[in-house]
Chains A and B, each alone.
Chain A
Amino acid sequence: MPIDLEVNGKRVSVDVDPTTPLLWVLREDLALPGTKFGCGAAQCGACTVHVDGASARSCVLPISAVAGKRITTIEGLDGKFGAALMQAWTEQDVPQCGYCQTGQIMSAAVLLKEAAKPTDGDIDACMSGNVCRCATYVRIRSAIHRAAEIASGGGR
């Protein structure tokens, strides 16, 4: 039975097993490979997307649980926070291998929505569920502070 949802502003309908994780629907059925498979157990954060604006680990989220909901992936992250994060990530040259970075950015976007000027403690409280095997954590922290500055009008 088809399941309807909205992905990056577009209404889509997918006909898959209702227990299929959202991650695989995004990657395999909707050709949105920006969201990564890391652990498959909601332990690493690589698969982070937004469901109705809140973070979710798409590797453990059955597609049936998001019927009718609004999904945002890295491909659809825009607005002032998306733009600020993109600029900051580029300026700070954050990624090394890059595999975890889409999840990092999706989590950081939620943080900026809720804390316009996040402290280091806020960043720790938000980002500790996103693992980076290259240990780019120092640059991630710096880029989040910079993105907050850009989003609040302090760009350049």
Chain B
Amino acid sequence: MNPAPNPRPRTPFLLASAAVASLALAGIAVQCSSPRPTEPARAAVADADGLRAWDVVYGVLQHPRCVNCHPAGNVPLQGEHLQLHAQNVQRGVDGKGRFDLKCATCHTAANTPGAHMPPGAPNWHLPTAAMPLVFEGKSKAELCRQMRDRAQNGDKTPEQLVEHMTHDPLVLWGWSPGEGRAPVSTPQAAFAQAARTWAASGCACPE
């Protein structure tokens, strides 16, 4: 873990983030981009809170349930130790595999019952080849800058990022990955709050 960027004593994270999340949900718009706007009035949450929230978000994004489909190369990963996917499966241009080995060939809309059986969720896929949104091997600062950069994040606004991270069934699968796989260790509700807080901070990123 990197040291917290702000030395002031931490307030209980969930209480603080709940308050700022409610502000964000009330419609306070913030803008994230890379480089980030410096206009302080745009951020509804202090940088320090945003950075603490990013720590939580980053921890989730580095979990194998997330990294496995955000690899550094063009081969998806599998398992708990970022092994290359068996069967020579490849990303493909659209992130959905190639030829016979498309993701949907084996990954259906729901987990297949039983240990070591193919997991499943609606629209199982990787990011596209043109915008791979790599999580694997990224530092906190690198991934943060990538996430807030619309040229690298799928042209998502902060609101759209939060929506994706908190409601997309493929993301939510990380908390119910089926038998034999570790779910994301941070509770989903805490992750969702952290994501909202980070966005409300103007997508604060560590240096």
Contacts and interface: CB of A to CB of B under 8 A. Distances in A.
Interface residues of A, number: 28
Interface in A110-135: 110-111, 114-115, 122, 124-130
Given A56-B105, A60-B106, A62-B108, A125 B98 contact: yes
Contacts of A106: 100
B98 A126 contact: yes
Given A54-B104, A55-B102, A115-B99, A41 B117 contact: yes
A72 B135 CA distance: 38
A6 to B, nearest CB: 19
B117 A122 contact: no
A61 B107 CA distance: 9
Contact of A125 (B101, B105, B108, B109): B101
B88 A128 contact: yes
Best-buried of B87, B88, B90, B104 by chain A (most CB within 10 Å): B87
B108 A126 contact: no
Contacts of B100: 45, 48, 55, 106-108, 110-111, 126-127, 129-130
A110 to B, nearest CB: 5
Nearest to A118: B99
Interface of B: 86-90, 98-102, 104-106, 108-109, 112, 114, 116-118
Contact of A54 (B86, B88, B105): B105
A92 to B, nearest CB: 19
Contacts of A45: 100
Given A42-B117, A61-B108, 13 more contacts: A54-B102, A55-B99, A55-B101, A57-B118, A60-B117, A62-B108, A110-B100, A111-B99, A125-B99, A127-B100, A128-B87, A128-B88, A129-B89
Contacts of B89: 128-129
Interface centre among B88, B89, B112, B117 (most CB of A within 10 A): B112
Nearest to A57: B106
Contacts of B112: 41-42, 60
Nearest to B109: A65
Nearest to A104: B100
A124 B99 CA distance: 10
Most buried by A among B99, B100, B102, B106: B100
Given A124-B88, A126-B99, A129-B100, A41 B118 contact: yes
Contacts of A43: 86-87
A125 B109 CA distance: 23
